[in-house]
Chain A
Amino acid sequence: MPSFSMDNMVSILPEMIVLSLALAVLMFDLALPKDEKRYLAYFSVAGLAIAGYQTMNLAGLQLDTFYGMFVLDGYAIFFKVLFYIAAAIAILISIGYVKGQEMDKGEYYALILFATAGMMVMASGADLISIYLGLELMALSVYILAGFMRGSMKSNEAALKYFLLGAFSSGILLYGIAIIYGVTGTTNLAGIAAFIQSGQYSGPALTLAMILLVAGFGFKVAAVPFHMWVPDVYEGAPTSVTAFMSVGPKAAGFAAFLRVFTTALPGIQPDWTVIIASLAIMSMLIGNVVAISQTNIKRMLAYSSIAHAGYAMVGFVSGGMQGVSSVMMYLFIYMFMNLGAFGMVVMLRKDGVAGEELKDFAGLAKKNRTAALLMMVFMFSLAGIPPTAGFMGKFYVFMAAIDAGFTWLAIIGVMMSAVSAYFYLRVIMYMYMKEPEGEFELAAPLSLKLAMAVAVLGVLYIGMAPAGLIDFARISIAGMM
């Protein structure tokens, strides 16, 4: 067992920076007048940039610290970079939106940063305890964010449902962890793997614990049948928060899910492969099919989010270097395109009108060509049409599935993507073929425009030149596989 040393401090440097940033935001909040809170947002983005720079400086290190509870490896760094970008874009999206919704408070940004810190701990956790703590830190922050729009009954309801279901799922997850501890005598991922490898125990309790873990993580990544909270919470939560939680916590959930199952439970891989494959199929099926009959765009994107969890799980099932790297790449791409799509919904919000219905997009192309064009790129990407990044994500995931012998899974995935084209392209149809209803007034402050520019460039760049990202993902996990 590694001893306590300076490495410990180095390895948690990124988390320390983000947590200090969150605390600093809380303090500066006291000093800022009521309508100047946007400076906190700029400050947070700048801080995230510094954290990102520091994290990239740590790239290449392989630190196993805090008595094996916390690791800093390429895998963790990959996800941390993803979280920084997601948080920064989400904050940029929020600036104008929170002002309009009377939720312009310092705590808003602090909570996003706390959630980010929690997600970072999840990605770095090498022990079920640290992963659980990170997960709770993230979850508690996001529960509050979901209900941040205090005046809206929908937001309240979203927070309530999310909180109760989240607590319920974390109870299930925790009980799974407890059983694993009871069986193996350790919560350390490597220790669990070693115990299973030694063949001392092969009873049903381990399988039961694994199923409970699937339920707990499945809740976070929005996999069917643990997805029921997603549509209601995504619809009710403030759009900027939905944008953040559709990419950040989902990616963090996958980060922990993948690490736990590939490092701690490879001994019972055949068992969980079957379960996750079935969850993947159900997620792709239910997500895409139900999205068709949605008229609220946030709700539609919620079902789409369930479907995308299904695609990512196809890569998960494939396993190995190729499978895991394809999931990581998928999540990275999904981050850009989904933040972009939600950012466009935010842009449509105007006084008194939610701008969340599909028909609010009618005729957008006639009023604002750039906005319609951006939305079209994001919809193409979500549908997986080349040359956007979404195509690349699906390509690598399905390719990994075929190479691993899960051709049927890839075929189902491709068929379901074809179904998904229907509701994504419908948005485009509304924008380009329908006449606008009433006046358009886009709420697009500079920060939102900047965020959308970053998102669209990410989508197009990765779509045209995916080699850099896939290499980043593969090098990141070279030490883990």
Chain B
Amino acid sequence: MLKYALIPFLPLAAFVFNGLLGRWLKDKAHWPPLFAVLFSFVLAVSTLFEVMGGGHIEHVLYSWIVSGGFDVHIGFKIDQLTAVMLIVVTTVSSLVHIYSVGYMHGDKGYPRFFAYLSLFTFSMLMLVMADNFLQLYVFWEAVGLCSYFLIGFWYEKKSASDAGKKAFVVNRVGDFGFGLGVMLIFITFGTLNYDAVFATAGFHAAETVNIMGGTYSLMTVIALLLFTGAVGKSAQLPLHVWLPDAMEGPTPVSALIHAATMVTAGVFMVARCHPIFNLSPVALDVVTWTGGITALFASTIALTQYDIKRVVAYSTISQLGYMFVACGVGAYTAGIFHLMTHAFFKGLLFLGAGSVIHAMSGEQDMRNMGGLKKAIPWTFGTFLLASLSISGVPGLAGFFSKDEILWKAFTSHGAGHTVYYLLAFAAFLTAFYSFRVIFMTFYGDCRASHEVAHHVHESPKVMLLPLVILATLAVVAGYVGVPEAIGGSNRFHGFMAHVFGGGHGAVEGVVEGGASHALEVTMMLVSILIGVGGIGLAWFMYIVKPDLPGKVAGASTAVYNLLYNKYYIDEIYDFVLVNPVKWASTHFFWKVVDVSIIDAFVNAVASLVDAMSRVLRRLQSGYFHHYAMGMALGVFVIVGVFLFIR
């Protein structure tokens, strides 16, 4: 059992070590966290092999309170889903640790940075290994907290600390719903343990709850509340606003937290709670629509952005949308498959973007880049592989996973089938904006100032190594899930079937045999055409006719501005929510409610208790006779009550 406990606790130990001794370690502060996370990775791999045969590992590590049905403990439930998450988290975390050695070199918060990375890794591992909702919730909050620390890592920068705050506040909205969901689960089931809840979820399927006059299905309410948390954490509409701003954090953090791991916690949670979601067709439809609309919405914004990291950030939001669609149509395996491949190629895109920024002396605006292909060939090569992967070029990881989602959506009934068209269009845009980044950054003439252009240099080997490893993974990771239609065996599907059951999308009844392999191959060709079309259009607009983008933007100013300003969502929130709340909090809540009502109430209670205290202490007169009389009176009063009242 020690082995499983070590997986999360090694990074925790590294955090404690760095927290206490970091000041003395200085620029060697990366060693303890790096060793810890590498060792965790080795253990995670060995754990993966243990569950390969279909077994589960369950272990209660530490019981805090056990009282009747109320059971608070820290425990591990390691099934195939957890094992995949463990591999993803430890792999990307290890590589990001290595990358950070180069990227963060010389930063004065170097030990602090690695301490936070370790703390985050610990929290994330505990989150995916949880065997009960309370632990899930606690570490759900913990990863949010680490993310807040790391976004605001350069806290002297106002934009960084503002972004941190924004991420925190927006996530609170989602977490509030999530917390309510967990509470409702406890009220309904009387326990928070996964196994007990999931095993009995079916018995509550027909129950309803009344909320403000309306009657709703209990499972729908629970599932939607949980999903609210996922929407916040995974940056889906309408709570996506924090993720682009979170790019203020150091780039390795963006790769680890805001691409590969933390933001996918929402998808993981929905997959983990699939027995609850499966009982509520309504909730599944909501998940599908949210994911589909977000996927398209975010990819349209990505078309017009110039900050290289922001493009990748919107791309992340969009790809998370794909994963939710997969969950919504009941194809959890496809969602987790895409989660895994996405972690590799999106982590790679972020790290590659970091390498570009590093080369450009901190420049992030693509308008000031260009022609870097020759100067930073390794970065270019790996970045290109990642972009090909995300665009869905056949043979690469992103192709297999994204295509599976598209196929599942297409063959599902109801919402999923409609959403397929959104996703297909988003896939086209994805290919387009991904290669827009490639062409603007690496091709054409260098638009940077002479000074910057002169300094362009390839990143050190310690940063290139993770890029190469991730590029390899972005190419090969897909081969665990080659669909049967083209002669693959789809081992990933068989592996995850231990968690999600055998049937494809068993819920909404995708017709297994009815959809022929021929149709699947046809749809695959359509996907390829879409991806290649997007790339081709980008090539045409940015290489063949470089003045075309400007003309298009000029011809459709309204649309362009709408996209460029991200649909004005931040401004709308400011206008509708933030400013009124600020105004109300100063003019009403603070000056009226707080000062006149709450303060007055609190003060009144306090002075009442105080006055009581002063009166009652007088009873203690110091005289023996009063004390004896108190006892005698006590007896008399009790006797009197019994004699005369009863």
Q: Name A's B-contacting residues (CB within 8 A).
A: 160-161, 164-165, 168-169, 172, 204, 207-208, 211-212, 214-215, 218-219, 225-226, 228-229, 231-232, 271, 275, 286, 289-294, 387, 392, 395-396, 399, 403, 419, 422, 464-467
Contacts and interface: CB of A to CB of B under 8 A. Distances in A.
Given A165-B624, A395-B65, A419 B630 contact: no
B108 interface: no
B550 to A, nearest CB: 62
Contacts of B627: 161, 165, 228-229
A53 to B, nearest CB: 28
Contacts of B63: 465, 467
Contact of A225 (B64, B70, B624, B634): B634
Interface in B603-646: 609-610, 612-614, 616-617, 619-620, 622, 624, 626-628, 630-631, 633-635, 638-639, 642-643
23 contacts: A164-B624, A165-B624, A165-B628, A168-B628, A172-B635, A208-B639, A211-B635, A211-B638, A214-B638, A215-B631, A225-B634, A231-B620, A271-B642, A289-B616, A290-B617, A292-B609, A292-B610, A293-B614, A387-B64, A395-B67, A422-B609, A464-B64, A466-B64
Contacts of B211: none
A159 to B, nearest CB: 12
B66 interface: yes
B612 A228 contact: no
Contacts of A464: 64
By CB atoms of chain A within 10 A, which of B612, B613, B628 has the most?
A: B613
Given A226-B631, A286-B616, A289-B613, A396 B67 contact: yes
B68 interface: yes
A293 B613 contact: yes
B52 to A, nearest CB: 34
B631 A399 contact: no
Nearest to A293: B613
Contacts of A465: 62-64
A448 B228 CA distance: 54
Contacts of B620: 228, 231-232, 290
Contacts of A215: 631, 634-635
Interface of B: 62-68, 70, 609-610, 612-614, 616-617, 619-620, 622, 624, 626-628, 630-631, 633-635, 638-639, 642-643
Contacts of B622: 232
By CB atoms of chain B within 10 A, which of A219, A228, A229 has the most?
A: A228
Contacts of B66: 467
A204 B643 contact: yes
Given A211-B638, A228-B627, A395-B65, A289 B643 contact: no
A211 B642 contact: yes
By CB atoms of chain B within 10 A, which of A169, A292, A392 has the most?
A: A292
A169 B68 CA distance: 40
A321 B133 CA distance: 30
Given A208-B639, A211-B642, A165 B613 contact: no
A231 B627 CA distance: 11
B412 to A, nearest CB: 47
Given A172-B631, A294-B617, A419-B609, 8 more contacts: A165-B628, A169-B631, A211-B635, A211-B638, A211-B642, A225-B631, A289-B613, A399-B68
Contacts of B630: 225-226, 228
By CB atoms of chain A within 10 A, which of B62, B64, B70 has the most?
A: B64
A169 B635 CA distance: 11
B624 A212 contact: no
A226 B63 CA distance: 40
Contacts of B610: 292-293
Contacts of A467: 63, 66
Contact of B635 (A212, A232, A289, A292): A212
Contacts of B67: 395-396, 399
A318 to B, nearest CB: 13
Nearest to B637: A225
Given A207-B642, A289-B616, A228 B631 contact: yes
Contact of B634 (A226, A289, A419): A226
Contacts of B62: 465
B609 A168 contact: no
Contacts of A219: 631
Contacts of B616: 286, 289-290
Contacts of A225: 630-631, 633-634
A466 B70 CA distance: 14
A399 B635 CA distance: 30
A77 to B, nearest CB: 23
A395 B68 CA distance: 12
A291 B620 CA distance: 12
A271 to B, nearest CB: 7
A426 B643 CA distance: 44
A289 B622 CA distance: 18
Contacts of B612: 289
A462 to B, nearest CB: 11
Contacts of A289: 609, 612-613, 616
B631 A204 contact: no
Nearest to B646: A271
Nearest to B639: A211
Nearest to B627: A228
Contacts of B70: 399
Nearest to A395: B65
Nearest to A292: B613
Contacts of B65: 392, 395, 466
A280 to B, nearest CB: 14
A293 B612 CA distance: 9
Contacts of B635: 172, 211-212, 215
Contacts of A466: 64-65
Contact of A204 (B609, B628, B633, B642): B642
Contacts of B614: 293
Contacts of A387: 64
